[in-house]
Amino acid sequence: MLSLLSGEAAAFGGIGTYVGVSLRVTGAHEVLAKTSGKSRQLGRGIAQTVTLNELTRGEHEEDHEAHAAPVPEQIEHVLDEWQEAQYAEFRRQGDYRGDQPRWAMAIDLSRCTGCSACVTACHAENNIPHVGPELVRRGREMSWLRIERYFEGGEHGEPFESRVAPMMCQQCGNAPCEPVCPVFATYRTPDGLNAQVYNRCVGTRYCSNNCSYKVRYFNWFDFQEEADPFFAFPDPLHWLLNPDVTVRAKGVMEKCTFCVQRIRGIQHEATLADRELQDGEVMTACQQTCPSDAIVFGDLTDAESRVSQLVRDERGYHVLGDLNTRPAVTYLRKVRNVVEA
Amino acid sequence: MTDGSNGMNRRRFLKVLGVTSGGAAAMSGCTSDRVEQLIPYLVPPEGQVPGIATWYASTCRECPAGCGIHVRVREGRAVKVEGNPGSPVSEGRLCSRGQAALQGLYNPDRIRQPMARTAEGSFAPVTWEDAIAQVTDRLAGAAGDRVRFISGLERGTFDRLLDEWLSALESNGRIAFEPLAHEAVRAASRMVFGVDAIPHYDFAAGRYVLSFGADFLETWGSPVEQARSFAASHGYRDGQMGRYVHIEPRMSMTAMSADEWIAPTPGSEGLVVLGIAHVIVRDGLAPAQPDLARVRRALDGFAPESVTGRTGVSIDALERLAREFTEQASIALPGGVGAQHAGAHWTAAAAALLNYVAGNVNRTVRYEREPGSVPSSYAELGQLVESMRNVGVDVLFVHGANPVHATPPSLGFAEAMRQVGFKVSFARFLDETASECDLILPDHDPLEQWSDYQPRSGVHALQQPVMQPVFDTRQTGDVLLDVARRLGGQSAARFSAGTFKEYLEAAWQQLQREQRDRRPFTLFWTEALQQGGVWSEGTTRSVRLASTVEQLAQAEPWSAPQDDALTLVAYPSMALYDGRGANRPWLQELPDPVTKITWSTWVELHPETAAERGIAEGDIVEVTSAGAHGLWPIC
């Protein structure tokens, strides 16, 4: 692009970066290696906003049209009962001890800028391979965390608005991916994580098919094998692999783990030191790097933890919450400080 | 930060080791070719437990912001880079470019040993001994004033070494080339306040941000620090939040965070600023500043009625923005490189004046004493090109810069370089400039070297090697000292330090004296290494309106040439910066925050313009300017 600019320095001694140009359509076409699907939310309410005035007036109606048919009230009750019964059963059998934490995340969209530092941090922490433009075009990127970007308005002179929302595995309390796995490779851990057991996975991809958030990623290739056409770690690039995280092989499904290696590492440290975990001690890689401190991670069973407080915030909502997936990730609506006409 | 995360910081702090001499070497692995074992040593160094990570504090050098980092090292290998919670710049956070620093360190395309050009024109490996002897011979035979050096923007001891080294050769010809040097903002500071500086903007205090094209969350200034402070003041909390209005023809990632986005006619941003400043002075919206008569003379011709037509921004909007701007602590930001049209210094000067009339100077906008050398302007690089073209340069050194790539081809940098008798590059990668050189003496990666950096006044950040070098590279400071020693005469007499680390320690002994710290130096040094540096309050300089501010009365908007249908705005990429991140796969695969495109370059077009011309996404268009043309797909 620099070739179009003038080599002459502008009056202030720098390069002028605006230049008059003309366009010619060549007739050629290229499929862009893009990761966005729709640019519009189509009423799904994934990235929700509220104006500052609405908030101060106490108006927090849902910011989207519920697209599912209205659910009869008793269904909610029946599901609650069913979950309680399941939980009681697990506790009776000893699988779910009462003193386990319930890991959760809150993402404040009024702080998130879409800068994507979390995405790169996640690659670095979790040994996620890069796949190259060809696989991105086929929708086969491996990034466990993506920033969804939507545009609103802008038609017929309406104000134009952009929204972003980081999207990773929502670690659902009622996960659609779990019951469809024929080999129990994905299951719910006692501390509320939706775990993926790589060496059980046989690659049916049913879980990905059933996931409402499209956050499961399948290894179509052996990215760590030199002979593979999509080999991603030429020597010495593999030196950056995190020794605490498995490098996954072809045929295996993977997804965000809430940085389970960090959780376990710090839990072990605390056990060795014979002390309790502190709130804020476990930080996921995305949270750790976030320049605007939009991501908060912690234990929901501690009512005073920072994440518990944020989850109770009036701006909190669950993405596609009407599917009753009961996500562990709560989003806090973006607040727009707009001038009302 | 909550109490919880402070606990985290303390725990992390205790884990950060200070490395005293030789410590890092003892901790580390071997070079790529030799490593065969899972744990790369037979007798483990004391204190090193397999499976337990070691953390080193250092400084990120992926862009000029200079964020403090902690590097996680496992069994002698760096495996993760994170922000240093103690650093006043990063406060524990980091951007994508900083995270991807590891892919620079372990990049397979790194130059693995010194290389010299052969008679056939290709590069072949040479030994360090031969390479340094070649440099010494060439320098011994060259007149000092025909030796030139292009460095990147260095702000620390290496900067001083370069100056001393060159002055010992009796050359004063160094260009500190930073492609994103923001010359327009400097020119504006000179015009309005008579100082050559880029001010420091306090985003945490500025509750109202008015940006005239500054991509302050992407490449402009210190993005991590700014994002953190911006989120603190603009993020919603207990019924309160700041307001942010972005005025730029292009929708950038930064603009996506704006509460209101105003797209004026391209090039007319400066008039919008002056219109707002005019209203503030006309209506007395802010307490009057000194030199009001001078301000009035500068602003007289910019009543909203006269600028509205040329900018496409309504009178109502201008008056409303003026009111909003003076209602709370505010900041007006001059544009970044993406808004740097030929009249950008007018826009930046207008923004500086707007801050002045609103009473923001010394409150949310501070002019500090900038440490180290001021980056050279693009125009100064142009003078060097002229000199090279006229065979005025015999030896050229290039370190930390890639001017062949980062300047428009019409400048003719590569052709001019070919007129230079002997060109030496210290590049880590065979980039466009290194490929034009005769000798390549690859530098260590910033994660493998000793150095320091002063991102801004009062912040002295240290860099330390976090592991043994991956390849047979050498720190450029050491190479320069070696060359000086071999040259003998005044070059050798100038330097008592044998290695750059000794030179650095001497500089830090001086710093310790300046800070009136009377402890033994080893204590000061070890503590600085553990913390990642030494921080103190910056020194603010008070500024007064200069008489040249009246030049603003002649401010002219930039406008596209009449016969060209469209205006192209070239802007730096959030992930790839000026292109220096282009060899990091993580950054290539990181979707652009606005378009979500990976792995390529594209042209954005307004949907209505595209529809008028029958252009759809992915269509490849030929873009032609006066100088050149090229093909890109449409987004």
**CA pair distance A124, A265, nearest whole angstrom:** 17
Question: What is the predicted pLDDT for the residue at A69?
Answer: 55
CB pair distance less than 8 Å for A29 and B595: no
The single-letter code of the amino acid at B191 is M
Per cent of chain B over pLDDT 70 is: 91
Set of chain A residues whose Cβ sits within 8 Å of the Cβ of B98:
117
Instruction: Please state the rounded mean pLDDT for residues A276-292.
Output: 95
Instruction: Please state the rounded mean pLDDT for residues A117-136.
Output: 96
Instruction: Please state the rounded mean pLDDT for residues A266-280.
Output: 94
Res. B532: pLDDT tops 70: yes
**Which stretch, B44-48, B291-295, B304-308, B490-494, has highest mean pLDDT?**
B304-308
Per cent of chain A over pLDDT 70 is: 93
Res. B632: pLDDT tops 60: yes
Q: Give the lowest-confidence range in A64-78, B203-217, B365-379.
A: A64-78
Q: What is the mean pLDDT of chain A?
A: 89
Q: Which of B357, B345, B353, B354 is nearest to B245 (CA)?
A: B354
Question: What is the predicted pLDDT for the residue at B459?
Answer: 93
Per cent of chain B over pLDDT 90 is: 66
Set of chain B residues whose Cβ sits within 8 Å of the Cβ of A335:
236, 241
Q: Where are the alpha helices (DSSP H) in B106-219?
A: 128-140, 157-168, 183-193
Res. B13: pLDDT tops 50: no
Nearest to B236 among A110, A147, A243 (CB): A110
Residue from B596, B604, B617, B625 whose CB has the most chain A CBs within 10 Å, to mutate: B596
CB pair distance less than 8 Å for B241 and A147: no
Res. A341: pLDDT tops 80: no
**Residue A207 to residues A178, A199, B546: CA-CA distances in angstroms?**
7, 15, 67
CB pair distance less than 8 Å for B342 and A18: yes
CB pair distance less than 8 Å for B100 and A120: yes
CA of A128 vs chain B CAs: smallest distance (Å): 9
Question: What is the predicted pLDDT for the residue at B42?
Answer: 63
Per-residue pLDDT tens digits for B54-92:
999 999 999 999 999 999 999 889 999 999 999 999 999
Listed in sequence order, the residues at least 6 apart from B288 whose beta carbon sits closer than 8 Å to its beta carbon are none
Label residue A147 by pLDDT band (50, 70, 90): very high
Per-residue pLDDT tens digits for B155-207:
999 999 999 999 999 887 799 999 888 899 999 999 999 999 899 999 999 99
The ipTM value here is 0.91
Set of chain B residues whose Cβ sits within 8 Å of the Cβ of A125:
80
Q: Is B490 on the interface with A (CB under 8 A)?
A: no
Q: Which of B518, B517, B551, B550 is nearest to B534 (CA)?
A: B517
CB pair distance less than 8 Å for A279 and B2: yes
Res. A178: pLDDT tops 60: yes
The single-letter code of the amino acid at B614 is G
Asked if residues B72 and B79 have their Cβ atoms less than 8 Å apart, the reply is yes
Minimal-distance CA residue of chain B relative to A236: B106
Neighbours of A25 (CB within 10 A): 14
Q: Is B622 on the interface with A (CB under 8 A)?
A: yes
CB pair distance less than 8 Å for A288 and B83: yes
CB pair distance less than 8 Å for A280 and B4: yes
Per-residue pLDDT tens digits for A58-81:
876 655 554 455 667 787 788 788
**CA pair distance B218, A114, nearest whole angstrom:** 10
Question: What is the predicted pLDDT for the residue at B27?
Answer: 41
CB pair distance less than 8 Å for B379 and A31: no
| Between A330 and B249, residue with greater pLDDT | A330
Question: What is the predicted pLDDT for the residue at A56?
Answer: 87
Res. B40: pLDDT tops 60: no
